[in-house]
Amino acid sequence: MLENYLNPVFPKSFPDPFVLKFRGEYFAYCTDFWSDGRVFGVLHSRDLVHWSELGGAMPPLETNPPYYWAPEVVYANGKFYLYYSVGNEINMEIRVATSKRPGGGFVDAGVKLTSEQFAIDAHVFTDTDGQKYLFYATDFLKHSHIGTGTVVDKMLDYFTLEGNPRPVTRAKYDWQVYDPNRKEKGGVRWHTVEGAFVLKRKGKYFEMFSGGNWQNISYGVSFAVTDDINSAEEWTQFSDGEKVLPILRTLPDLVIGPGHNSVVRGRNNRELFCIYHCWTENGRALAIDRMDFAGNRIFIEGASHTPQIAPFAPTLTDFFETENRNSVGNWRFADSEAICEISDKCELIFKSNTTSFLSEFSLRMVETIDESSSFGFCLKNDTETILEFSIFPTLNRAAINFGKQPDVELPKDFNFSAIHLLRVEADGFRVKISLDERFLFDEMLEKFSTQIALTAKNAKAAFSGFALTEGFEDLFDWKNAEIEQHGWRKSSDKAVWRIENQELIFENRSASEAFLTKGEEHKNFEFAANIRLLESFDASADFGFLLSEPPAVAGGLSVGKQFSLLKSNPPVTAETSSDLRQFRIIKLGEKLIFQSEGINLLETAAPNENCRIAVFCKNSRIALEMVRLTIL
How sure is the predictor about 409, in pLDDT bands with cuts at 50, 70 and 90?
A: confident
Whether the predicted pLDDT of 558 surpasses 50: no
Q: What per-residue confidence (pLDDT) applies to 480?
A: 79
The answer to whether 316-474 and 483-631 have equal CATH topology is yes
Per DSSP (E only), the strands in 329-384 are 331-334, 337-340, 346-351, 356-368, 374-380
Q: What per-residue confidence (pLDDT) applies to 323?
A: 75
Whether the predicted pLDDT of 29 surpasses 70: yes
Whether the predicted pLDDT of 497 surpasses 80: yes
Q: Region 461-467: what's the mean pLDDT?
A: 97
Query: How far is the C-alpha of 193 from the C-alpha of 138, rounded, in Å?
Result: 9
Mean pLDDT taken over the chain: 93
Whether the predicted pLDDT of 407 surpasses 90: no
How sure is the predictor about 557, in pLDDT bands with cuts at 50, 70 and 90?
A: very low
Q: What are phi and psi of 342, to 5 degrees?
A: -65, 125
Query: How far is the C-alpha of 116 from the C-alpha of 92, rounded, in Å?
Result: 8
Q: Structural domain boundaries of the chain? A: 4-306, 316-474, 483-631
DSSP 118-173: BEEEEEEEE-TTS-EEEEEEEEESSSSS-EEEEEEEEEEETTEE-S--EEEE---S
Q: What per-residue confidence (pLDDT) applies to 406?
A: 77
Superfamily of domain 316-474: Exo-inulinase; domain 1 (2.60.120.560)
Query: How far is the C-alpha of 163 from the C-alpha of 154, rounded, in Å?
Result: 8
Q: What per-residue confidence (pLDDT) applies to 553?
A: 41
Instruction: Of 201, 200, 189, 194, give the one whose Cα is nearest residue 168.
Output: 194
Query: How far is the C-alpha of 429 from the C-alpha of 447, rounded, in Å?
Result: 6
How sure is the predictor about 564, in pLDDT bands with cuts at 50, 70 and 90?
A: confident
pLDDT tens-digit series, residues 571-629? 554 455 568 999 999 999 889 999 999 998 889 888 888 999 999 999 999 999 999 99
- The full 3-state SS of 130-144, as one line of letters, equals CCEEEEEEEEECCCC
Q: Region 117-146: what's the mean pLDDT?
A: 96
Q: What per-residue confidence (pLDDT) applies to 562?
A: 82
Q: Which DSSP state fits 355? A: S
- Give the distance, in angstroms, between the CA of residue 199 and the centroid of all CA atoms in the same chain: 8
How sure is the predictor about 217, in pLDDT bands with cuts at 50, 70 and 90?
A: very high
Query: How far is the C-alpha of 332 from the C-alpha of 319, rounded, in Å?
Result: 13
Percentage of residues in the chain having pLDDT higher than 70: 96
pLDDT tens-digit series, residues 236-265? 999 999 999 999 999 999 999 999 999 999
Rg (CA), the chain: 25
Q: What per-residue confidence (pLDDT) applies to 565?
A: 87
Whether the predicted pLDDT of 156 surpasses 70: yes
Q: What per-residue confidence (pLDDT) applies to 554?
A: 37
How sure is the predictor about 570, in pLDDT bands with cuts at 50, 70 and 90?
A: low
Q: Region 140-156: what's the mean pLDDT?
A: 96
- The full 3-state SS of 227-262, as one line of letters, equals CCCCCCCCCEECCCCCCCCCCEECECCCEEEEEEEE
CATH of domain 483-631: 2.60.120.560
Return the CATH architecture of domain 4-306: 5 Propeller (2.115)
Q: Region 170-180: what's the mean pLDDT?
A: 96
How sure is the predictor about 555, in pLDDT bands with cuts at 50, 70 and 90?
A: very low
- Residues whose CB falls within 8 Å of the CB of residue 553, separated by 6 or more in sequence, listed in order: none
Q: What per-residue confidence (pLDDT) applies to 574?
A: 45
pLDDT tens-digit series, residues 328-380? 999 999 999 999 999 999 999 999 999 999 999 999 999 999 999 999 999 99
